[in-house]
């Protein structure tokens, strides 16, 4: 069973590429952002709690996202590709614990990198296409990128130590990045004899 984390700044294409990889490698795509937006859309008590934080571009509390991921992992035997989690070192440590508890092993963490200007352009384009409120405001975008730099980027150091981190270039066209990602996953699959 393959278990992969896609990692990178807002706008780098984690969701797009997670969908591509999920289909190609028969993985369940777990997007904490999508899970949270579904809670907001359904007007659940959890959705009402996190709506304001997401609209400001703040990270949602660890307890909330860890709970969502735990619930998703417990409901499937399928390999997973995580997108948008972990976003802090504490969440990375919690994910290690969740994987042990659910008898899973993380195979790799793929960090997708792209220039800041390209990220901002992509986020604006996504706002037009998807109508996501958290993508439409320049202050929110700037804040989300600052949050990523301050809180999420340190997670790469956490995974470097474990030897699980692979960095790829995410600039350019979707198919170019997709080919780079598939090459990494194919290498991991061969190495681990899945």
User: CA-CA distances (angstroms) from residue 163 to 29, 78, 87, 110?
Assistant: 23, 24, 18, 11
Residue closest to 192 by CA, chosen among 155, 160, 157, 164: 164
Beta bridge partners of 31: 83
Residues assigned a catalytic role: 14, 87, 126, 132, 144
CA atoms within 13 A on the CB side of 23: 6
- How far is 192 from 194, CA to CA, in rounded Å? 6
118: number of Cβ within 10 Å: 16
Residue closest to 50 by CA, chosen among 64, 66, 69: 64
User: CA-CA distances (angstroms) from residue 76 to 1, 72, 80, 187, 192?
Assistant: 11, 7, 9, 25, 21
Residue 103 three-state SS: coil
């Amino acid at each position: 069973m393959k278990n992969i984390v896609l990692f990178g700044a807002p706008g780098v294409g984690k969701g797009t590429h997670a969908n591509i990889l999920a289909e190609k490698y028969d993985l369940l795509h777990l997007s904490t952002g999508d899970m949270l937006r579904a809670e907001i859309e359904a007007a659940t008590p959890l959705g009402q709690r996190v709506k304001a934080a997401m609209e400001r571009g703040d990270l949602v509390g660890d307890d909330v996202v860890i709970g969502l991921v735990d619930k998703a992992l417990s409901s499937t035997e399928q390999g997973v590709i995580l997108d948008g989690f972990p976003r802090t070192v504490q969440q990375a440590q919690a994910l290690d614990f969740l994987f042990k508890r659910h008898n899973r092993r993380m195979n790799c963490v793929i960090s997708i990198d792209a220039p800041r200007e390209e990220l901002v352009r992509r986020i604006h384009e996504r706002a037009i296409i998807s109508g996501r409120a958290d993508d439409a405001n320049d202050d929110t975008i700037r804040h989300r990128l600052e949050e990523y730099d301050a809180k999420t980027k340190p997670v790469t150091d956490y995974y470097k130590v474990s030897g699980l981190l692979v960095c790829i270039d995410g600039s350019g066209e979707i198919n170019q990045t997709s080919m780079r990602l598939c090459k990494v996953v194919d290498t991991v699959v061969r190495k681990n004899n899945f």
